[in-house]
Structure formats: C-alpha cells, structure tokens
Amino acid sequence: MKQFFVILSMILLAANPLAARTPKSPNGRLTLTTTVNGLSLNYRGQSVLELPVLGYTDAHYSANPNNPELPTLDFKLTQSNLKTDYHMLIGKRLHCTNRANEYVLELSPVAKVRLRLYDDGLAFRYELRLQRQRVPEEQTAYRIPAGTRRWMMRWSDGYEGFYPLATSSDNGRWAFPALLEPSDGTFVLLTEAGIEHYRSAASMHNDGDRFRVIPEKNELTLSGDWSSPWRLAIVGSLADVVESTLVTDVAPACQLQDISWIQPGVVSWVYWAYNHGSNDLNIIKKYVDMAVALHLPYVLIDAEWDEMKDGKSIEDAVRYAREKGIKPLIWYNSSVGWINGAPGPKFRLNKPEDREREFAWCERIGVAGVKIDFFSGDDQRNMDYCIDLLESAARHHLTVNFHGAPIPRGWQRSYPNLLSTEGVYGAEWYNNVPTFTARAAAHNATLPFTRNVIGPMDYTPCAFSDSQHPHNTTHAHELALTVLYESGLQHLADRPESFLAQPQPVQQFLGQLPAVWDETRLVSGYPADHAIIARRSGKTWYVAGINGTEQPRDLDLSNLRAIVGNRLVSNAFLDADEDRAWQLQSDVALPATVHTRARGGFVLVIH
C-alpha cells in the first residue's frame, strides 16, 4: 500500500494533455514532458533526464488517484521569464543573471512542487504545510540508465573522494554533485541548493538505474509552511555546466547590510608541509614572513594553537602577523565529527554563548577569519550548526572556511563571509595516502566539471615540492591549479623554502593572484582528460590549463581568441623539458596550441 502512494499518479500524469502548455525555459532549449513513467527533462527536443517518481510516501503529500478531492495534476504557470540579477563577492562572476519560467504542480491541498526551468537547468522544490510532525519521507528519484557516462563520487561525510568515469553504478550511496553525459556533448550535473534552517541536505541511493534522493536525518517536529531544498539539474554543453551559477541563483539572497569587511585573498598555509598544525611560533613566523615576501594578504594558523610551545600563545602569533601587515586566520575543531584523538581547540563553538564569546575574542585580538573542521555529515543538526556559525561569525566580522564539511549548496550567496569550503579530495591527501599520487592529474582535470561547478573549493593547490607522499604533476600544472580552481581563500600548499626558491616571475604571479573573478569561461576540456579555463579580473585574463593524461600533448587554444581578443601574452608559465622545471616567456603572441608534458599544464596572463 505504501508503494501505491509513492507513485505520483502516473496514470493521471500521462493522461494530462500538456501539449498546449508544455513547461519550457525562456530560451526554449529545456522542456518538461510527461511519460508513462513520470516526467522527462528534455534538452533541444531530446530527453536527458527522467524523473520517474516525485512526492512523499505520506498520502497527504502525494497525488492519490483514489481521493476525488485531489485535483487533476496540472502544470500551472505562475511566473513567465522570472529574472534573477544579483552580485557576488566571490565565484565564477561578480554579476550573476539568469532567467526562468516558473510552474507549480499541485500534489494535494497541502503539498505542491514548484518547478523553474532556467535557461541552463531545472530547479524544483516541494512546498508542504506541516502540522506538528516530522518532515515526511521524500521519494524523488532520477533514472540514470546503464550505458550513461557518469562521474560520481561515493558519499562520505567530508566529500573527499574521486569522481571516476563509469557507465553503470553498483548499488550504494552517492554524493552530489553528479555529472552525467546522456548523449555525446550534452551534460547534466545533479546537485541541490538552498539549505536553510530546519532542513537537512541529501544524498542519492540507487537500486539499479533508479537513484533516489534521500534527505539525511531531521528529527524536528514542525508546523506551518515548509519547503525542501531545491533539487537541481544543470543542463547543456560542458561550458554551460562549468559557467552556470544556478546553485546561487536559487539560494536565498544575502541579508547583511555591510559586507565591506569581507576580503577574499590568497593564504600562506602551514599544514601541508608538516602534516601538523601550528603550535610552534617559530614555524608560524616562517609562514608569516613568506606571506610578506610574496605579498599575500593572509596566513592561516592551523590546529593545535591552543597548545603553543615555549610559553607562547596564539595571541603572540596573531600579534606577529598583524605587525607584519598580514591578516591571521585561525583553526577550530567543530567538535561534532572527529573529536577523540583529533587536534584542538575543541568545544569552543558548540554552545551559542560560548561561540559568541569566542568570536568576540577573535575580533578583539585582530583575527580576520576562522577555519572550522571535522563536521559529521549532512543531517539537520549539522546544517543548522553551520548556519549558526556563519551568522555568529558575521556578527563579529569573521570570514569562514569550512573543512571536513558538506559541499557548498548556495551559502556563499546567502552568507558571503563563507569564502571557501573543502568538500574535496585535495592536495592535503599527499599527506595521508600514496594512492593520490598516481590519480591526481586525472582527478585534477575532473574537478572543474564536478565539485568546483557548485561553489568555492579549498583544494589547497600549488605544491612544487613533496609532502609525505610524492606528486608527479609538473610545476606548471601545479601553478595552473591556482587559477583553474575557484576559491575565495586560496590556500597555497607548499613550504616557504620551495616558494621562495622559484623564479621571480612565479613569485610575482602568486603575489598578484586574484581570488575574485569578474568572469569565467571554459575554453575546452573533458573530465579526466584536460581542462582549460579563462578567468578575468578587471582587464586581465588568466588562462590556466592542465593535461590530465599520462602522455605529452598539445592543448588547443583555438577558442581562446574569441574570448580574450587579439592580445599579447604578458607572461606565460609553461612546461619545460625533463631537466628544467619552468619555461617562462613574456610579451609573446597568443599561441594556437600549448605543448604540455604528461600531467603537465600552463598559465597565460593576458593584460
């Protein structure tokens, strides 16, 4: 009987004549049609994603054909050409615009689905009227047929894993985002956005080719109007996916009146070299001095600062940084995930009164922001805790970087003091396992099309030397990651001795590296194969490309001239031969191709 209520009256759906009023995007490329199995999302007339099930298991929140009081299912147009226009502090572009047509599908007197067909994707959410109850069990599902090329990550609470290419999936639990290629050259990226108070995030659980969206635990008893997070499918070419701002388009707008104190930037970071935190003031001073030498605005004082050696304290470290003109960031354990055996400080942020006192102290001594680590998943408690942290930090003019944390789901718009989030298998893993080395280049060339699409990504790029386990990417590949990956706080992984040994043009590049981009364009690429992205800061274009394969190759730049114009390349950072780390050029013509070594890369700076 339960399964009977799961299906959204598919007989009624199929019988409903929508030909005269087919839901479509403003540009007409995307449409929604009914099928014998449910709904089909179509791109340029071809089905790219099937939604065989919508609704909830509770009969009050699903269409029930045996209840004559329920209306015949119908898409009702509520807004035509809904316009989204807002500004961001970080992201792919500062000025974001999009258009959508909005429809409502009535499920019952107390439940409806609000659907928006944007020019670059589908967004839908459920709107329920609850009566002193828990949120019912959602039944949304996507059908991903066997044979569909896909890049999906097994779920983990820190979202740290690979996105391997596959054409089928074993049954299990899968993380957002998930990239699909339903037909050659057409892509769909599945994710979610708009996590507000009293909501949990979700993952996908599959049984064969049916991938059900299952929100994590939410034990609250709620009354009144409630809406789910937005379920998203970004659709189009790879460029459409990479350049999309749909995740923030549907997120709640920022309510802060003053955001002038929020300043993105590049960070000197201690952990990668030592596989340890920052309890030694002498080591912290080295990273502050590196920030001074490279003209970086920030230094991160990582874990263990509550156990400083030689009678020193965190206030000594903060004072040293500020005296040198460097803004200090400090680390906290969230104390909800890894606690026993984990570094501190711990249990300083969990209670509201402790959190306010701690952040007030940070503000008073001159800390510019906090990095908060080791969360425990996507349930409602974690989501509310993250939002509480962001709101409290904003009251005390602190930027935030979440680590060991859920992926971005639009909070970077709602809370612009959130400048970065880990949620990625990044360079930190050279500290932990030897398996990262062999797969890093292909993984690096997959992230621009998967994880970094949805928001800022603290991969901690740019390591010229080795950590606990070696890397086999070239210097130019590593430098390219600083542009290829978008993050409002770009933490540089390597040790001071390595950075300061690089040629002066490389050091100057790092000192001038933007963390804010006016525009982002995909030049070319394919997951695990290669990625070339052009980002504009003011009148300067930064073009970064990496080779994700094990073979030397020439990367095609034929699309670049249409993006940047016919300009000279002010500085080029290229792969050299096996005996030299760099090939540096300046004031040269825009090339048609760039030669890269196996696992190589390049950066072009075009003023």
CA torsion, ordered 242, 533, 411, 478, to nearest 10 deg:
130
Burial class (CB in 10 A: 0-12, 13-18, 19+), 95: exposed
Question: Domain locations in the chain?
Answer: 2-249, 265-515, 530-606
Q: Quick one: fold of 265-515? A: TIM Barrel (3.20.20)
Would you mind telling me the total number of residues written for the chain in this entry? 607
Asked if 451 and 482 touch (Cβ cutoff 8 Å), the reply is no
pLDDT value, residue 35: 75
Which residues have CB under 8 Å from 77's CB, separation 6+?
A: 21, 23, 101, 102, 103
The pLDDT tens digits of the residues spanning 220-277 come to 999 999 999 999 999 999 999 999 999 999 999 999 999 999 999 999 999 999 888 9
List, by residue number, the catalytic residues.
373, 428
Look at 59-73, 114-128, 521-535 and tell me which has the smallest mean pLDDT.
59-73
**For the chain, percent of residues with pLDDT exceeding 70:** 95
Which string of b and e fits 116-152 if b means at least 16 CB within 10 Å?
A: bbbbbbbbbbbebebeeeebbebbbbbbbeeebebbb
pLDDT at 20 over 60: no
pLDDT value, residue 5: 34
491: left (phi over 0), alpha (psi -120 to 50) or beta: beta
Q: Do domains 2-249 and 530-606 have the same CATH topology?
A: no
Task: Compare 192 and 71 and report the one with higher pLDDT.
Answer: 192
Mean per-residue pLDDT for 591-599? 97
Q: Quick one: fold of 2-249? A: Beta-galactosidase; Chain A, domain 5 (2.70.98)
pLDDT at 586 over 50: yes
Burial class (CB in 10 A: 0-12, 13-18, 19+), 488: buried
Burial class (CB in 10 A: 0-12, 13-18, 19+), 171: exposed
CA distance readout (Å), 586 to 96, 337, 384, 568, 583: 33, 48, 50, 9, 10
pLDDT value, residue 558: 95
pLDDT value, residue 104: 94
CA distance readout (Å), 48 to 43, 112, 177, 192: 6, 24, 16, 18
Cα 333 to Cα 409: distance, rounded to the nearest angstrom: 22
Asked if 509 and 605 touch (Cβ cutoff 8 Å), the reply is yes
The pLDDT tens digits of the residues spanning 355-408 come to 999 999 999 999 999 999 999 999 999 999 999 999 999 999 999 999 999 999
**For the chain, percent of residues with pLDDT exceeding 90:** 89
The pLDDT tens digits of the residues spanning 325-361 come to 999 999 999 999 999 999 999 999 999 999 999 999 9
Mean per-residue pLDDT for 468-491? 97
pLDDT value, residue 63: 65
Cα 305 to Cα 291: distance, rounded to the nearest angstrom: 19
Q: Which amino acid is at 208?
A: G
- Reference 139, options 213, 64, 245; nearest CA is 213
The pLDDT tens digits of the residues spanning 496-509 come to 999 999 999 999 99
Mean per-residue pLDDT for 522-548? 98
Q: Which CATH number describes the domain made up of 530-606?
A: 2.60.40.1180
Which residues have CB under 8 Å from 363's CB, separation 6+?
A: 396, 397, 398
- Reference 182, options 234, 145, 224; nearest CA is 145
**Which residue shows structure tokens 């959190």?**
355
pLDDT value, residue 18: 38
Give ∠ CA 32-174-237 in degrees, rounded to 5. 45
Average pLDDT, the chain: 93
Extract the tokens encoding 315. 């206030």
pLDDT at 15 over 60: no
pLDDT at 17 over 70: no
Local structure of residue 276 (DSSP, 8 states): S
The pLDDT tens digits of the residues spanning 145-203 come to 999 999 999 999 999 999 999 999 999 999 999 999 999 999 999 999 999 999 999 99
pLDDT value, residue 37: 61
Strand order of the sheet with strand 46-53?
Answer: 30-35, 38-43, 46-53, 141-143, 210-215, 202-207, 172-174
pLDDT value, residue 94: 98
Give the residues across from 327 on adjacent strands.
298
Mean per-residue pLDDT for 46-51? 97
Please, which pLDDT band fits residue 34 given cuts at 50, 70 and 90?
confident
Asked if 583 and 574 touch (Cβ cutoff 8 Å), the reply is yes
**Ramachandran angles phi, psi of 385, nearest 5°:** -60, -45
DSSP string, 481-545: HHHHS--SEEEE-S-HHHHTTS-HHHHHHHHH--S--SEEEEEEEETTTEEEEEEEETTEEEEEE
Look at 4-18, 430-444, 483-497 and tell me which has the smallest mean pLDDT.
4-18
DSSP string, 171-230: SEEEPSPEEEEEETTEEEEEEEE---TT---EEEEEETTEEEEEE------EEEEEEPPE
Which residues have CB under 8 Å from 186's CB, separation 6+?
A: 43, 44, 46, 48, 235, 236, 237
